[in-house]
């Protein structure tokens, strides 16, 4: 009797264990969530990693070289077109300009004096011409001596010679005025070049020299980017780059702002591929300027190359590969059935399909549960 009781208790214990295993382990392990396809739009995208750059980056240099007197803008400053950026040391250019101006004034006074002298000589010449004409008539009539006539003639010729000298002085003064004006203009141009202006409304991305530093004409002092030309330079494999065209929509994520997405547009597709990496450069411009932005910052771009509207779509993570075929697990009459799908398009997170209805129950695979197989009994 005692032995039978022991067997009965053992059987009951085993049964309870089996029931517990079935309810606590087997059923949860074979219980799956299901979803149905949804109707909507899907965008096919191509991704690329690149760096922020710009089409127009201006290197600001001192036109004639020399020592830097002032740098009025710094890294990170916004500037307007025409703003003074840098002032160079002109050494004695201001003094040279003052001397040149004084020389010009003196030459103008000399020219005025010569003109006044010429006017006086021309008036005297007119009187001498009258005297000469009168003596010439008197000599012809025998009323004036030859010496009197010769004296009048000599005085007239001397007056005309003085007029020619005065005219030459005026011409020389005018030439000197032109030379002085050119010298002044040249000095003013050199002085004006001492101030270096911004060529564009832009953003200073680097300061590459310091005050009191002597630089050559080719030495970069500041670098300014035109923000309207800001873009991301990325490279895409040749195999898929043929789908990319200018003006396609894109989105941009900056490494420093990973939680924010900027709208963009494909601005340029390079006509030459990299012979080593077999990639093609793609330039994606920002539709809205990020502030602040950093040249050379890493960025991810996603370019929309195709769009599909009103298609049935499912999450891409429920698509599985079985025996070399892509498909999904369907739930039919409590069992799992594998169905090969006909894929229309695929985005980052969704896949558009054509051979499943909107009411189909699709099993969501779960690695923590029993592996699915055709005909396997499942719980929903």
pLDDT computed for residue 56 by the predictor: 94
Q: Which domain holds residue 179?
A: 93-189
Within-domain flag for 130: yes
Specify whether 64 is located in the same domain as 211.
yes
Residue 376 resides in a domain: no
Percent of the chain with pLDDT over 90: 40
For 326-360, the three-class secondary structure string (H helix, E strand, C coil) is EEEEEEECCEEEEEECCEEEECCCEEEECCCCCCC
Q: Are residues 114 and 202 in the same domain?
A: no
Tell which wins on pLDDT, 232 or 126: 232
Residues 111-166: pLDDT tens digits?
788 788 878 878 787 887 877 787 677 777 777 777 777 777 787 787 778 888 87
| Boundary residue ending a domain (164, 189, 214) | 189
pLDDT at 304: 93
Tell me: do 70 and 199 sit in the same domain.
Answer: yes
Is a pLDDT exceeding 70 seen at residue 93?
Answer: no
pLDDT digits (tens, 9 = 90+) for 284-338: 999 999 988 999 999 999 999 999 999 999 999 999 988 889 999 998 888 889 9
| pLDDT tens for each residue of 244-292 | 999 999 999 999 998 999 999 999 999 899 899 999 999 999 999 998 8
- Report whether 234 contacts 48 (CB < 8 A): yes
Is 184 within the bounds of a domain?
yes
326 within some domain = no
Mean pLDDT of all residues in 176-198: 82
Measure the CA–CA gap between 312 and 39, rounded to whole angstroms. Answer: 5
The C-alpha atoms of residue 266 and residue 280 are separated, in whole angstroms, by 13
Task: With beta carbons less than 8 A apart as the criterion, state whether 218 and 209 touch.
Answer: no
Q: Are residues 171 and 144 in the same domain?
A: yes
Rg (C-alpha) for the chain, rounded Å, is 48
The rounded distance, in Å, linking the Cα atoms of 114 and 171 is 9
In the listed set 307, 328, 351, which residue is the last one of a domain according to the structure? 307
As for how many domains the chain has, the answer is 3
Residues 74 and 200 in one domain: yes
Burial of 141 (0-12, 13-18, 19+ CB in 10 A): exposed
- If asked whether residues 104 and 182 sit together in one domain, one would say yes
Residue 82: give its domain's CATH number.
Answer: 2.40.50.100
Average pLDDT on 170-182 reads 83
CB-CB contact of 262 with 21 (8 Å): no
What is the pLDDT, as a whole number, of residue 31?
81
In whole angstroms, what is the distance from residue 12 CA to residue 6 CA? Answer: 10
β-pair partners for 47: 302
Helix (H), strand (E), coil (C) string for 264-323:
EEEEEEEEEECCCCCEEEEEEEECCCCCCCCCCCEEEEEEEEEEEEEEEEEEHHHCEEEC
Q: Which residues contact 380 (CB under 8 A, 6 or more apart)?
A: 31, 32, 33, 34, 331, 334, 361
* C-alpha dist (Å) from residue 25 to 29, 370, 373: 6, 10, 18
Same domain, 98 and 174: yes
**Residue 128 near residue 156, CB atoms below 8 Å:** yes
pLDDT at 25: 47
377 Cβ contact partners less than 8 Å away, ≥ 6 residues apart = 30, 334, 335
Task: Identify whether residues 210 and 78 lie together within a single domain.
Answer: yes
The model's pTM is: 0.65
Query: Same domain for 68 and 217?
Result: yes
Percent of the chain with pLDDT over 70: 90
Asked whether residue 341 is assigned to any structural domain, the reply reads: no
CA 371, 373, 378: angle at the middle one, nearest 5? Answer: 75
Tokens of 189: 């141009």
Q: Note whether 106 and 173 are same-domain residues.
A: yes
Tell me if 235 is assigned to some domain: yes
Q: CB–CB of 286/264 below 8 Å?
A: yes
Query: Is residue 249 situated within a structural domain?
Result: yes
The most confident of 61-70, 187-196, 298-307, by mean pLDDT: 298-307
**Residue 168: is it exposed, middle or buried by C-beta count within 10 angstroms (0-12/13-18/19+)?**
exposed
Q: Are residues 98 and 183 in the same domain?
A: yes
What confidence score (pLDDT) does residue 146 get?
A: 75
Exposed / middle / buried, residue 312 (Cβ in 10 Å: 0-12, 13-18, 19+): buried
Same domain, 198 and 262: no
Which of 201, 183, 195, 1 shows the shortest CA–CA distance to 99? 183
CATH classification of the domain holding 233: 2.40.30.170
Cα–Cα distance for residue pair 296/173, rounded to 1 Å: 61
Q: Which of 173, 204, 224 is the last residue of a domain?
A: 224
Task: Judge whether 167 lies within some domain.
Answer: yes
Decide: 380 and 43 in contact? Cβ < 8 Å: no
Helix ranges, the chain (H): 2-21, 27-29, 93-141, 146-192, 238-241
């Amino acid at each position: 009797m005692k032995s039978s009781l022991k067997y009965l208790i053992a059987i009951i214990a085993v049964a309870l264990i089996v029931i517990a295993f079935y309810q606590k382990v087997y059923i949860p392990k074979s219980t799956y969530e299901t979803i149905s396809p949804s109707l909507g739009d899907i965008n096919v995208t191509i991704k690329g990693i690149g760096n922020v750059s710009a089409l127009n980056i201006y290197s600001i240099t001192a036109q004639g070289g020399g020592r830097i007197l002032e740098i009025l803008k710094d890294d990170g400053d916004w500037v307007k077109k025409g703003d003074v950026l840098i002032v160079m040391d002109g050494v004695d250019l201001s003094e040279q300009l003052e001397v040149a101006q004084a020389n010009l004034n003196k030459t103008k006074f000399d020219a005025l004096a010569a003109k006044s002298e010429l006017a006086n000589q021309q008036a005297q010449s007119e009187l001498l011409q009258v005297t000469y004409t009168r003596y010439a008539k008197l000599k012809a009539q025998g009323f004036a001596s030859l010496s009197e006539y010769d004296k009048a003639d000599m005085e007239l010729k001397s007056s005309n010679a003085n007029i020619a000298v005065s005219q030459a002085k005026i011409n020389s003064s005018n030439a000197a005025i032109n030379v002085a004006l050119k010298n002044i203009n040249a000095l003013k141009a050199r002085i004006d070049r001492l101030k270096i202006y911004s060529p564009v409304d832009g953003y200073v991305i680097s300061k590459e020299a310091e005050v009191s530093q002597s630089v050559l004409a080719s030495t970069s002092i500041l670098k300014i980017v035109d923000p309207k030309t800001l873009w991301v330079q990325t490279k895409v494999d040749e195999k898929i780059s043929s789908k990319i065209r200018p003006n396609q929509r894109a989105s941009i994520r900056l490494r420093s702002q990973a939680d924010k997405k900027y709208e963009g547009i494909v601005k340029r597709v390079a006509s030459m591929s990299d012979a080593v990496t077999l990639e093609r450069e793609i330039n994606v411009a920002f539709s809205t300027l990020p502030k602040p932005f950093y040249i050379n910052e890493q960025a991810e771009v996603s370019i929309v190359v195709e769009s599909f509207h009103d298609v049935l779509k499912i999450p891409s993570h429920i698509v599985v590969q079985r025996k070399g075929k892509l498909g999904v697990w369907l739930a039919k009459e409590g069992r799992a059935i594998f169905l090969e799908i006909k894929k229309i398009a695929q985005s980052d997170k969704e896949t558009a399909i054509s051979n499943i209805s909107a009411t189909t129950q699709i099993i969501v695979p779960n690695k923590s549960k029993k592996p699915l197989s055709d005909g396997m009994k499942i719980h929903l």
